[in-house]
Protein backbone atom coordinates (compact mmCIF):
# COMPACT_ATOMS: atom_id res chain seq x y z
CA UNK A 1 0.00 0.00 0.00
CA UNK A 2 1.38 3.39 -0.96
CA UNK A 3 1.97 6.30 1.36
CA UNK A 4 -1.18 8.23 2.24
CA UNK A 5 -1.89 11.34 0.16
CA UNK A 6 -4.27 14.15 0.96
CA UNK A 7 -6.45 14.20 -2.18
CA UNK A 8 -7.55 11.51 -4.65
CA UNK A 9 -9.15 12.68 -7.91
CA UNK A 10 -11.58 10.36 -9.68
CA UNK A 11 -13.33 10.71 -13.02
CA UNK A 12 -15.25 8.41 -15.32
CA UNK A 13 -13.11 9.12 -18.39
CA UNK A 14 -9.72 10.68 -19.12
CA UNK A 15 -11.38 13.08 -21.54
CA UNK A 16 -13.20 14.89 -18.75
CA UNK A 17 -10.06 15.79 -16.81
CA UNK A 18 -7.46 15.61 -19.59
CA UNK A 19 -6.39 19.28 -19.23
CA UNK A 20 -5.42 18.65 -15.59
CA UNK A 21 -3.67 15.28 -15.82
CA UNK A 22 -0.14 16.57 -16.47
CA UNK A 23 -0.37 18.96 -13.52
CA UNK A 24 -1.65 16.25 -11.20
CA UNK A 25 1.12 13.92 -12.32
CA UNK A 26 3.74 16.60 -11.69
CA UNK A 27 2.37 17.25 -8.20
CA UNK A 28 1.96 13.54 -7.46
CA UNK A 29 -1.78 13.81 -6.96
CA UNK A 30 -3.26 10.36 -7.60
CA UNK A 31 -5.97 10.00 -10.22
CA UNK A 32 -8.34 7.07 -10.79
CA UNK A 33 -10.25 6.71 -14.06
CA UNK A 34 -13.25 4.61 -13.06
CA UNK A 35 -15.03 3.93 -16.33
CA UNK A 36 -18.65 4.82 -17.09
CA UNK A 37 -21.49 3.66 -14.86
CA UNK A 38 -22.20 3.09 -11.19
CA UNK A 39 -20.86 -0.47 -10.89
CA UNK A 40 -17.40 0.18 -12.41
CA UNK A 41 -17.20 3.39 -10.36
CA UNK A 42 -17.92 1.67 -7.04
CA UNK A 43 -15.21 -0.91 -7.72
CA UNK A 44 -12.62 1.55 -9.00
CA UNK A 45 -13.19 4.16 -6.29
CA UNK A 46 -12.95 1.61 -3.49
CA UNK A 47 -9.84 0.06 -5.04
CA UNK A 48 -8.20 3.50 -5.31
CA UNK A 49 -9.13 4.34 -1.72
CA UNK A 50 -7.42 1.16 -0.53
CA UNK A 51 -4.35 1.86 -2.63
CA UNK A 52 -3.87 5.56 -1.84
CA UNK A 53 -5.60 5.93 1.54
CA UNK A 54 -6.65 9.52 0.79
CA UNK A 55 -7.96 11.95 3.36
CA UNK A 56 -10.37 13.27 0.71
CA UNK A 57 -11.80 12.18 -2.66
CA UNK A 58 -12.85 14.60 -5.40
CA UNK A 59 -14.94 13.34 -8.29
CA UNK A 60 -15.10 15.54 -11.38
CA UNK A 61 -17.09 15.07 -14.56
CA UNK A 62 -19.48 16.48 -17.10
CA UNK A 63 -23.21 15.91 -16.72
CA UNK A 64 -26.68 16.64 -17.99
CA UNK A 65 -28.92 19.29 -16.47
CA UNK A 66 -32.68 19.30 -15.88
CA UNK A 67 -33.02 23.05 -15.30
CA UNK A 68 -32.50 25.49 -18.15
CA UNK A 69 -31.87 28.38 -15.79
CA UNK A 70 -28.31 27.04 -15.73
CA UNK A 71 -26.03 27.59 -18.71
CA UNK A 72 -24.09 24.86 -20.43
CA UNK A 73 -20.56 25.10 -19.08
CA UNK A 74 -21.66 26.03 -15.55
CA UNK A 75 -19.88 24.10 -12.80
CA UNK A 76 -21.85 22.97 -9.74
CA UNK A 77 -21.14 21.14 -6.49
CA UNK A 78 -23.39 18.19 -5.66
CA UNK A 79 -24.90 18.26 -2.19
CA UNK A 80 -26.81 15.00 -2.49
CA UNK A 81 -27.22 12.22 -5.02
CA UNK A 82 -29.17 9.01 -5.47
CA UNK A 83 -29.69 5.99 -7.69
CA UNK A 84 -32.61 7.17 -9.81
CA UNK A 85 -33.26 3.93 -11.67
CA UNK A 86 -33.14 1.54 -8.71
CA UNK A 87 -36.76 0.41 -8.64
CA UNK A 88 -39.61 -0.47 -10.96
CA UNK A 89 -41.89 1.29 -13.45
CA UNK A 90 -45.33 -0.25 -13.11
CA UNK A 91 -48.63 0.95 -14.57
CA UNK A 92 -46.79 4.02 -15.86
CA UNK A 93 -45.72 4.93 -12.32
CA UNK A 94 -42.20 4.86 -10.92
CA UNK A 95 -41.55 3.31 -7.51
CA UNK A 96 -38.12 3.15 -5.91
CA UNK A 97 -36.89 0.27 -3.76
CA UNK A 98 -37.62 2.53 -0.79
CA UNK A 99 -41.21 3.15 -1.94
CA UNK A 100 -41.74 -0.59 -2.26
CA UNK A 101 -40.30 -1.36 1.16
CA UNK A 102 -37.44 -3.42 -0.23
CA UNK A 103 -34.94 -1.15 1.54
CA UNK A 104 -35.21 1.22 4.48
CA UNK A 105 -34.84 4.87 3.36
CA UNK A 106 -32.55 5.60 6.31
CA UNK A 107 -30.47 2.45 6.05
CA UNK A 108 -26.82 3.48 6.13
CA UNK A 109 -25.55 5.35 4.20
CA UNK A 110 -28.92 6.67 2.96
CA UNK A 111 -30.91 9.50 4.51
CA UNK A 112 -34.51 9.49 3.35
CA UNK A 113 -33.42 7.45 0.34
CA UNK A 114 -30.72 9.91 -0.64
CA UNK A 115 -26.93 9.98 -0.35
CA UNK A 116 -26.18 13.33 1.24
CA UNK A 117 -22.73 14.84 1.51
CA UNK A 118 -22.39 15.68 5.22
CA UNK A 119 -19.16 17.62 4.70
CA UNK A 120 -20.90 20.95 4.28
CA UNK A 121 -17.78 22.98 5.06
CA UNK A 122 -16.00 21.38 2.10
CA UNK A 123 -18.99 22.06 -0.14
CA UNK A 124 -19.15 25.71 0.91
CA UNK A 125 -15.40 26.16 0.53
CA UNK A 126 -15.66 25.47 -3.22
CA UNK A 127 -17.66 28.65 -3.75
CA UNK A 128 -19.82 26.73 -6.22
CA UNK A 129 -23.59 26.55 -6.12
CA UNK A 130 -24.68 23.38 -4.33
CA UNK A 131 -27.43 21.36 -6.03
CA UNK A 132 -29.02 17.88 -5.85
CA UNK A 133 -28.29 15.23 -8.45
CA UNK A 134 -29.34 11.78 -9.59
CA UNK A 135 -27.34 8.89 -10.99
CA UNK A 136 -28.61 6.63 -13.76
CA UNK A 137 -27.31 3.66 -15.71
CA UNK A 138 -29.51 4.56 -18.68
CA UNK A 139 -29.44 8.21 -19.70
CA UNK A 140 -32.92 9.68 -19.24
CA UNK A 141 -34.78 10.50 -22.46
CA UNK A 142 -38.39 9.70 -21.53
CA UNK A 143 -40.32 12.95 -21.05
CA UNK A 144 -42.41 11.59 -18.19
CA UNK A 145 -39.31 10.45 -16.29
CA UNK A 146 -37.61 13.77 -16.94
CA UNK A 147 -40.62 15.61 -15.52
CA UNK A 148 -40.69 13.33 -12.47
CA UNK A 149 -37.01 13.71 -11.68
CA UNK A 150 -37.21 17.45 -12.17
CA UNK A 151 -40.28 17.66 -9.92
CA UNK A 152 -38.33 15.79 -7.25
CA UNK A 153 -35.78 18.60 -7.31
CA UNK A 154 -33.03 17.02 -9.36
CA UNK A 155 -30.78 19.50 -11.15
CA UNK A 156 -27.96 17.29 -12.44
CA UNK A 157 -27.85 13.79 -13.94
CA UNK A 158 -24.71 11.67 -14.16
CA UNK A 159 -23.85 7.99 -14.40
CA UNK A 160 -21.34 7.82 -11.52
CA UNK A 161 -22.04 10.41 -8.82
CA UNK A 162 -24.04 8.27 -6.40
CA UNK A 163 -21.30 5.63 -6.54
CA UNK A 164 -18.82 8.08 -5.03
CA UNK A 165 -21.31 9.18 -2.37
CA UNK A 166 -22.13 5.60 -1.45
CA UNK A 167 -18.53 4.40 -1.11
CA UNK A 168 -17.23 7.52 0.62
CA UNK A 169 -20.10 7.54 3.14
CA UNK A 170 -19.62 3.85 3.90
CA UNK A 171 -15.85 4.34 4.33
CA UNK A 172 -16.29 7.63 6.22
CA UNK A 173 -13.93 9.52 3.92
CA UNK A 174 -14.63 13.20 3.15
CA UNK A 175 -15.60 13.73 -0.46
CA UNK A 176 -16.69 16.23 -3.05
CA UNK A 177 -18.46 15.82 -6.38
CA UNK A 178 -18.30 18.63 -8.93
CA UNK A 179 -20.08 18.59 -12.28
CA UNK A 180 -19.99 20.85 -15.30
CA UNK A 181 -23.04 20.97 -17.53
CA UNK A 182 -22.50 19.68 -21.05
CA UNK A 183 -26.14 19.26 -22.12
CA UNK A 184 -29.75 19.42 -21.04
CA UNK A 185 -31.31 16.10 -20.11
CA UNK A 186 -33.39 14.73 -22.98
CA UNK A 187 -31.56 16.68 -25.68
CA UNK A 188 -29.86 14.07 -27.88
CA UNK A 189 -28.75 16.41 -30.67
CA UNK A 190 -25.06 16.63 -29.75
CA UNK A 191 -24.63 19.72 -31.92
CA UNK A 192 -26.51 21.51 -29.13
CA UNK A 193 -24.19 20.18 -26.43
CA UNK A 194 -21.21 22.19 -25.20
CA UNK A 195 -18.30 19.86 -24.46
CA UNK A 196 -15.66 22.56 -24.94
CA UNK A 197 -16.86 24.90 -22.19
CA UNK A 198 -17.97 22.02 -19.96
CA UNK A 199 -14.53 20.39 -19.98
CA UNK A 200 -12.63 23.67 -19.89
CA UNK A 201 -14.57 25.15 -16.99
CA UNK A 202 -14.60 21.86 -15.09
CA UNK A 203 -10.82 21.65 -15.14
CA UNK A 204 -10.34 25.27 -14.12
CA UNK A 205 -12.48 24.67 -11.05
CA UNK A 206 -10.98 21.24 -10.38
CA UNK A 207 -7.41 22.57 -10.34
CA UNK A 208 -8.43 25.50 -8.15
CA UNK A 209 -10.19 23.24 -5.65
CA UNK A 210 -7.47 20.57 -5.58
CA UNK A 211 -4.77 23.17 -5.00
CA UNK A 212 -6.78 24.65 -2.16
CA UNK A 213 -7.61 21.29 -0.58
CA UNK A 214 -4.14 19.79 -1.05
Give the domain 7-213 fold.
Answer: Rossmann fold (3.40.50)
Q: Contact 209/56 with Cβ under 8 angstroms?
A: no
Of 176 and 86, the one with more pLDDT: 176
Q: How far apart are CA 130 and CA 68, in angstroms?
A: 16
Give the list of residues 6+ apart from residue 127 with CB closer than 8 angstroms, or none: none
Look at residue 6 in the predicted model and tell me its pLDDT: 87
Look at residue 91 in the predicted model and tell me its pLDDT: 76
Fill in the DSSP letter of residue 154. Answer: -
Domain boundaries, the chain: 7-213
Q: Contact 103/97 with Cβ under 8 angstroms?
A: yes
Position 3 confidence tier, pLDDT thresholds 50, 70, 90: very low
pLDDT higher than threshold 60 for residue 97 = yes
Q: How far apart are CA 202 and CA 145, in angstroms?
A: 27
Average pLDDT, whole number, for the chain? Answer: 93
| Residue pLDDT, tens place only, 23-81 | 999 999 999 999 999 999 999 999 999 999 999 999 999 999 999 999 999 999 999 99
pTM of the model: 0.93
Amino acid sequence: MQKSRSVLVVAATKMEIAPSLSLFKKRQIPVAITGIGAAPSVYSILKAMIQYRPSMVIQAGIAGCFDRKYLLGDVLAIGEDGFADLGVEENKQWRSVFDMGFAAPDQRPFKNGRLKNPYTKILRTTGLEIVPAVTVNEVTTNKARISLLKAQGSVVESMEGAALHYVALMEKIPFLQIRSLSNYVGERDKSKWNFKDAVGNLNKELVRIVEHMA
